[in-house]
Amino acid sequence: MFSNLKRVVTLTLLASAASQVFAAPAPVSDIGNNSSSANTASASSSQAPEGDVQRLERLLQARSRMQLQMQQQLDAMSQEIRNLRGQIEKNSYDMQQMVKRQRELFVELDHVRSTMKSATPSTDLSASADDDQGTYSSNADEQTAYQNAVDLILKKRDYSGAIAAFEKFEKDFPKSVYTPNSHYWLGQLFFAKKQDVDAAKNFAAVLAFDKSNKRADAMVKLGDIAARNNNAAQAKKYYQQVVDEYPNSSSAEVAKTHLK
């Protein structure tokens, strides 16, 4: 009986202790707080990377815009440099052409001057002018026009102007006593400019005037033109003609030097 009572008491104590244990309130607030804290930490951890990514994207976009602007500026500068380089090359080419043309003009002028000052009777224009002294015209306009054309050569050294003046003279005074002289002057001027076709045409016109004191010199010049154009046979023919027709002239002495 005593053992049964002891069992009952023991069971009662155990039941009481169990009831207190099971009756104790569960730590709901702690669980909620823990869960809330966990959610907050999770949200914070998820929001932080988003801010970094956005900032990085903005930096990359800004850098891309800057690179694009720099590239556009470089392209514009490159185009401008190409344009300037092209202009410089064009200016350089124009300058070279100008210098080349000036050099050619100087060479041509020197050649003309040297030809005009030659001591030989066939190219001595001063001597030709002296030969003109015995020829006069009663027409004052004709005399003046001819003398003005001669002065363009001897005084003004305007050879192109002289050519135009003599050509006009021959047109205005086709039957002038100065016609053979005018042809001879034109032949000399064209010969000095190496315009051999025009020179030969005018020198040949002089040969038609049998009494012209320019005829022998014109033959020598025709020989010189033929020789300059590698026509030795024709040159020899003209030189020999001068010697045969004017054996005692200074022109014949010049022709003989070419026949040796």
Provide the pLDDT for residue 2. Answer: 47
Provide the pLDDT for residue 10. Answer: 55
Provide the pLDDT for residue 112. Answer: 52
Q: For the chain, percent helix, then strand, then coil, each to nearest 5?
A: 80, 0, 20
What does pTM read for this prediction? 0.51
**DSSP for residue 174:** T
Provide the pLDDT for residue 236. Answer: 95
Provide the pLDDT for residue 216. Answer: 94
Provide the pLDDT for residue 93. Answer: 79
H helices present in 117-175, as ranges: 125-132, 140-154, 159-172
Q: Which residues of the chain carry a pLDDT beneath 70? A: 1-50, 98-138
H helices present in 173-231, as ranges: 179-192, 196-207, 215-228
Domain 125-259 CATH assignment equals 3.40.50.20: no
Q: Which of 135, 165, 164 is nearest to 149 (CA)?
A: 165
Residue 89, C-beta contacts closer than 8 angstroms, at least 6 positions apart: none
CA angle 166, 169, 173 (to 5 degrees): 145
Provide the pLDDT for residue 109. Answer: 53
